[in-house]
């Protein structure tokens, strides 16, 4: 097993630990490894909002085109404005036409949000 595979396995295990610090480290490790699928899973399934937010940020920094559908789904699944803000920023960082269209539609439907991004 190569170092990247071992690091991926450790990060995935840490992501399931109850310790928030370990989970934060796991997201950072997954981002460094470019583990888009694992980050998408964390975005969709992690019970802690902060880990979901970090996953969204990491996906944006990675410009993970494959994550656009999951980010859009998460954008509408949450009512937390800060989470929406980080998802919108991730979509803007990814910058594909689909991602930018999703932001445009969200801006039109989220007029009451204090976090509208121009």
- pLDDT tens-digit readout, 44-93: 998 889 999 999 999 999 999 999 999 999 999 988 888 999 999 999 99
Report CA torsion sign: 88, 94, 100, 105: negative
**CATH says 3-109 is which class?**
mainly alpha
Token duo for residue 71 = 């980010």
Rounded CA separation 95/89 (Å): 10
Banded model confidence at residue 100, pLDDT cuts 50, 70, 90: very high
Query: What are the pLDDT digits (tens) for 5-37?
Result: 888 999 999 998 999 999 999 999 999 999 999
> CA angle, 68 as apex, 31 and 84 as ends, to 5°?
85
pTM: 0.88
């Amino acid at each position: 097993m190569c170092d990247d595979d071992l690091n991926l396995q450790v990060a995935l295990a840490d992501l399931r630990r109850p310790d928030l610090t370990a989970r934060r480290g796991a997201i950072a490790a997954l981002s460094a490894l470019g583990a888009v699928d694992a980050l998408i899973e964390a975005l969709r399934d992690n019970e802690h909002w902060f880990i979901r937010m970090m996953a969204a940020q990491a996906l944006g920094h990675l410009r993970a085109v494959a994550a656009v559908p999951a980010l859009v789904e998460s954008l509408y699944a949450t009512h937390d404005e800060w989470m929406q803000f980080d998802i919108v920023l991730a979509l803007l960082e990814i910058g594909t036409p689909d991602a930018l269209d999703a932001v445009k539609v969200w801006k039109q439907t989220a007029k009451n949000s204090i976090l509208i991004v121009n």
